[in-house]
């Protein structure tokens, strides 16, 4: 499975009022492995950044003045993400800007070239309801160092988000994916299939102390929401898989 973690920096918050993309960072995952095959562009937007946006990313008009226009990098970006699943934090923001940039060039929407989009912000809100779920907050929660992140940068943020995503999705189901990925990498598309029945997955039961600590945590969540937290409710039966 090929996935691309993507982030952008922009001149402001609204593509509909003329704000533009000024930086794009893409980090490639292949079967849940970082490949090092990344893509990064600075883009000359042809306009100044809003003061608030400039304070976030620090990319001045002077710095961007000799960088390529979006039209000069659009084809390479499209080819790089073509057919991949995109992983983005707050995906509607970045996808909206990229669709707008492609629209200005008279091209089909950017979103038409990927196989799907995973929004890690939506997933984080589901996993940690009522908590801060910014990229910085998730790095802290998963023990990922972001000490070198003094300003937002598209490539750096994509690299951090890749680690966050892998941490968010690491479980017994990802162990199966990892094993399948290793078999695929070893022999390409002709590698022998791994039968799920043949996988001897260990099941580690929680100790009495761990169960007690878990109940205490749930009691605290119930108290915080003044009712029954979602972690105590029975999951609904899913009729069919939902595509993100």
Q: Which residues are catalytic?
A: 152
* pLDDT tens-digit map of 41-78: 999 999 999 999 999 999 999 999 999 999 999 999 99
Q: Are strands 85-88 and 2-10 parallel, antiparallel or unpaired?
A: parallel
- Distance of CA 3 to CAs 6, 52, 152, 222, 230, Å? 10, 31, 22, 37, 30
* pLDDT tens-digit map of 150-159: 667 899 999 9
Q: What is the pTM of this model?
A: 0.69
Query: Is the distance from CB of 34 to CB of 27 less than 8 angstroms?
Result: yes
Does the structural domain 2-170 have CATH classification 3.40.50.12280? no
> 208 pLDDT band (50/70/90 cuts)?
confident
Query: Is the distance from CB of 22 to CB of 151 less than 8 angstroms?
Result: no
* pLDDT tens-digit map of 167-195: 999 864 444 445 445 544 445 455 455 55
Q: Tell me where in the chain the CATH 3.30.420.10 domain(s) lie.
A: 2-170
Q: How far apart are CA 128 and CA 140, in angstroms?
A: 13
| In the predicted structure, residue 202 carries a pLDDT above the cut 80 | no
């Amino acid at each position: 499975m090929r996935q691309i973690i993507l982030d952008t920096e922009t001149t402001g918050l609204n593509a509909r009022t003329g704000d533009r993309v000024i930086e794009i960072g893409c980090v490639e995952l292949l079967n849940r492995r970082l490949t090092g095959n990344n893509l990064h562009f600075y883009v000359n937007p042809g306009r100044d950044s809003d003061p608030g946006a400039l304070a976030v990313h620090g990319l001045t008009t002077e710095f961007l003045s000799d960088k390529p226009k979006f039209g000069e990098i659009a084809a390479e970006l499209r080819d790089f993400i073509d057919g991949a699943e995109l992983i983005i934090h707050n995906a509607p923001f970045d996808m909206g800007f990229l669709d707008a940039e492609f629209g200005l060039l008279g091209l089909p929407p950017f979103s038409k070239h990927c196989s799907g989009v995973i929004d890690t912000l939506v997933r984080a809100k589901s996993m940690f309801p009522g908590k801060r779920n910014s990229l910085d907050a998730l790095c802290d929660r998963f023990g990922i160092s972001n000490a070198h992140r003094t300003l937002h940068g598209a490539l750096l943020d994509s690299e951090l988000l890749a680690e966050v995503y892998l941490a968010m999705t690491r479980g017994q189901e990802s162990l199966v994916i990892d094993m399948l990925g290793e078999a695929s990498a070893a022999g390409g598309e002709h590698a022998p299939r791994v039968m799920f029945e043949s996988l001897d997955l260990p099941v580690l039961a929680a100790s009495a102390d761990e169960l007690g600590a878990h109940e205490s945590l749930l009691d605290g969540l119930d108290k915080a929401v003044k009712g029954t937290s979602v972690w105590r409710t029975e999951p609904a039966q899913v009729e069919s898989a939902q595509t993100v």
